[in-house]
Chain A
């Protein structure tokens, strides 16, 4: 479980996060939604420690991440896996080397075991026979799957996904969403997904936090979202004509 308590973050006097709090539970896919520029990515990067909070606290299963020394943070980081918006695979490494990378760095496993583990992770994301290809040689959807495989290589307790469906077609987006959901359940991971894709919200949003202009405006489940009377949330959710008609029952 990850707790975020009253965090603030600003860049050069520009307040990006203002008093954001929330609890992200284990074994659930927790979604952070909001418009582009609402502060979702900054919130996610602050939770994983890529940005330092100006004020507030982030707690990983009772361990205060914000007050932690760099060395102690490293131990928590080994329990994290992250899927970036653009996959962030290492261009100079093959698919297998990318998945094996965290194992090469942190595990004491033999090379054979590391290769086996990488193959297992690749199979888990339904990728085979791509081990020796480079990221530039595979499709965007496959790159996302490789990034998921890399993120789960060390059996993480926490999985962070920054707009996992950006740039993907609807069918591939569903495949990625399902993978994230299945892996969360299978390994009882605390998963936080940043998205503005309503298909993801309705598909895997067990808990949804809505951010607007750096503030938390609403939280609930995917079932509650359609019935909410929060005007800012409704403006975001029903921005498309199709959803407006759906809500009106046309």
Chain B
């Protein structure tokens, strides 16, 4: 019952979020601010994680290929496909669900318990739209860029790890990442990143918006936002994979 109640409430909340923005000039400024806060602010962690995971994927793949008949460039193929298909879109989005999701839920939750949202409502402002829509638009816009950066840095990390350790020579890795390349994998990954960006911002905004109580409840909302958006990312990853790659 609680699941159905929250699902219904989430869709009603989305109806409020997608209401008409108060003033377009203010709305666009908010989007730029959110892109800076949520997107550019996450660039550091995306680069660090992508670099090291790309390096580890390359080394692990190389160390697990024992047959000498398998050419070295297959390490590049495997690293590329793992990064393009799953890591950069799904895993990076899961990381962002933790970082950005908890940030959104705690920010909006704190505004709720300190009556800042009531203040917006009394002024006649659609508080859900004013607070959450710029975050949703910003995440839909910036998440694909973060995913593309992650792809580049991840593959770069793999190349550097392979070349510097001598496990996969540079020419073979570069040949591998070009071998049998399917451009649709990038499109598939970017489509997923758009959906995941929407899920992270809207679900986290929802939990923050309906916080009631005090600091403890803000913490709980933040945790729920991360857990629910992570589960939804995994669920939609499955659905989108079946829809786009079948």
Chain B interfacial positions (CB closer than 8 Å to A): 22-23, 26, 110-111, 114-116, 118-119, 121-125
Residue A55 at the chain B interface, CB threshold 8 Å? no
A51–chain B nearest beta-carbon distance, Å: 10
A85–B113 Cα distance when bound, in Å, is 12
Contacts of B124 in A (CB 8 A): 73-75, 77-78, 80, 106
Please determine whether A90 and B115 come into contact, CB atoms closer than 8 angstroms: no
Please determine whether B119 and A84 come into contact, CB atoms closer than 8 angstroms: yes
Given the known inter-chain contacts A104-B26, A105-B23, A105-B26, please indicate yes or no for A80 contacting B114, CB distance below 8 A. Answer: no
Contacts of A91 in B (CB 8 A): 110-111, 114, 116
Number of interface residues of A (CB under 8 A): 23
A102–B124 Cα distance when bound, in Å, is 10
- Other-chain residue from A73, A84, A102, A160 in contact with B115 (beta carbon distance below 8 A): A84
Residue A138 at the chain B interface, CB threshold 8 Å? no
Please determine whether B122 and A82 come into contact, CB atoms closer than 8 angstroms: yes
A86–B115 Cα distance when bound, in Å, is 8
Which residue of B is nearest A104, CB measured? Answer: B26
Please determine whether B26 and A80 come into contact, CB atoms closer than 8 angstroms: no
Chain A interfacial positions (CB closer than 8 Å to B): 45, 48-50, 73-75, 77-78, 80, 82, 84-86, 88-91, 102, 104-106, 160
Q: Assuming A80-B124, A86-B114, A105-B26, what are 16 further A-B pairs, CB within 8 angstroms?
A: A45-B118, A77-B122, A78-B123, A78-B124, A82-B122, A84-B118, A84-B119, A88-B114, A88-B115, A88-B116, A88-B119, A90-B111, A91-B110, A91-B114, A91-B116, A106-B124
Please determine whether A80 and B122 come into contact, CB atoms closer than 8 angstroms: yes
Please determine whether A50 and B116 come into contact, CB atoms closer than 8 angstroms: no
A222–B102 Cα distance when bound, in Å, is 49
Contacts of A77 in B (CB 8 A): 122-124
